Amino acid sequence: MNQLVSVGTSHHVAPIEFREKLAFSEEQLIESLQRLRESDQVQEAVILSTCNRVELYAIAHSVRNADAAAKMLVEFLAQYHQMSVESLKKWCYLHHNFGTVQHLFRVTASLDSMVVGESQILGQVKASYNRSRAAGAVGTVLNRLFTKAFSVGKRVRSETTITAGAVSISYAAVELAKKIFNTLEGKTVAILGAGEMSELTAKHLVANGVSKVIVANRTYARAVKVAEKFNGTPLAYDSNLDFLMEADIVISSTDAPHYLINRQPLADIMRRRRHRYMFLIDIAVPRDIDPDVSKVDHAFLYNIDDLEAVVASNLQDRQQEAVQAERIVAEEAKRFYNQLQVFQVNPTIKAIHQQFQQVADTELQACFYKTALSDQQEAAVASMTQAIVKKLLHHPMQNLRCAVNDGDADHAQYVQALQELFELDVNDDNSEL
């Protein structure tokens, strides 16, 4: 029986130093999905990679249990990112079957986010799902799972006020900037990378008084597009950091595999600008700014983990709404998983009925060939044979369905045993799910 499993890490369990090692670039995501598709053990897969989490969801087959499936995924991630399985296990979590469903629903409901109630995660999960589907890695089960997850996320947002008074990374950045500069009036912000998060942060800064925006991006057209939103100045980034001479606040969010701002070049710029305060926000994973930049006089560097403490102090008002959201997630996860279990068992039940019926039909034809029976007699014998097949299978199949409905943990072993004992050709078509 196929197993629904997930393996991942997030800001809850791992520092940014580990998460950036496990992060996937756009190209790596496509390559990884292709590798997984070519594997004999993975039937479907979705990879979610954001600044706060990296998670792999999969339908694994040719394995006897969920533990074996999870072990296979851990080994894949370790091999792909060239790290030991032991180091990966230290900072990762595993979810099997129902646990995977519930975890994904909590993620899309933003209950597992650094900022409970934030709105970006739902779009990020959708983008990851669409990317995996375009790569041909999504089949019937993950399609239904993720579609349901999006529905649950929307239900939580519509039936609770968990997003009211949104507290975000952008909010945290503004609060820290105010503490450093006292006022943001007349300040200049430089955006390096022009990603969605940096654009949102810049929007909050401008709303709080920042007067000038500089956008530096490797793709100049993208820089122009973002700069137009703030009546700002676009630049084509080419490793020249002179644009930082004017910047009071720097927001960096690119997918570069190496540091774009290092200690010594920034120290040189700080000297040239006579050590005017500079506030740097590195919200990229992997990081864009060398951590040693924090040792430069009058340079204040914060990465995405550093902002968590600021966010945490502003979340108390959301806790009651989070309790209601958790109830919704638990209810939806249980309902969906029960449906999934039933429909995963149905192909096996269908296959064993077909096999018994084929045997019965074959023997009937042999009997009719050797015996001179009237049409009425043949019909009676055929009807009796079908009744025997149904009665022989009724109680075993009923007990199997009851095991699923009652949450019996052994039902997967029952299904596996049936498939092996009767050598069933099972078509795992869950199109009705």
Choice among 51, 92, 367, 402 that is catalytic: 51
- CA dihedral in degrees (289, 292, 298, 301; nearest 10)? 40
Please give the Cα distance from 77 to 68 (Å, whole number). Answer: 15
CB 73 within 8 A of CB 56: yes
Active-site residue flag, 51? yes
Beta strand 93-96 with 299-303 is unpaired
* Crossing angle between the packed helical segments 319-370 and 411-421, to the nearest 10 degrees: 20
Please give the Cα distance from 407 to 342 (Å, whole number). Answer: 11
| Residues with active-site annotation | 51
